[in-house]
Homo-oligomer: A and B are copies of this chain.
Amino acid sequence: MPEISEVLKKKGLKATPQRMAIYQALLSTDAHPGAEVIYEQLKMAYPTLSLNTVYTNLDILADVGLIRRIDSGEGLFRYDGNPSPHLHIICTDCRKVEDIYGDCSIDLADMTGKVEKWSGYKVNDHALYFFGQCPECLKR
């Protein structure tokens, strides 16, 4: 994975096999996995990988802005390979987390401006979660 190692180096990070694998794993899924899931998934290919390393690298990757930490309210953190602020919808039955694309984000840019004026905060980021039941769970 030549591109990935370049992206990491640009951020001043060493392109270790573990780090590349963790980042790659996030880029290649839209399932918003947690640390444990990524660890289990990579253990096959990297038997010596430690859970610690997964946590450490998820932190580092989120710090430099390559990935995004998601807090779905389950008491664990999930991660998203797409770091740009976007919307998530969470099924309260099966706990699935899905991305929402569309024209919604336009409204949010407006709102950020309003919020800055109102609160006096310097707003750097936002997170919008919708909670409900996914089509599959609704069928039951």
Interface size band for A: 35 or more
In angstroms, how far is the closest chain B Cβ from the Cβ of A15?
Answer: 28
Q: How many copies does the complex hold?
A: 2
Q: Which residues of B contact A124 (CB under 8 A)?
A: 92, 131-133
* Interface-central residue, A91, A92, A115, A135, by most chain B CB under 10 Å: A115
Counting CB contacts under 8 A, is A12 at the interface? no
**Residue in contact with A114 in the complex, picked from B104, B111, B116, B132, CB distance below 8 Å:** B104
Question: A46 within 8 Å of B by Cβ?
Answer: no
Residue-by-residue, is A63-95 near B (CB-CB < 8 Å gives 1, otherwise 0)?
000000101110101000000000101011000
| Contacts from A to B (Cβ < 8 Å) | 69, 71-73, 75, 77, 87, 89, 91-92, 98, 100, 102-104, 107, 110-112, 114-116, 118-135, 138
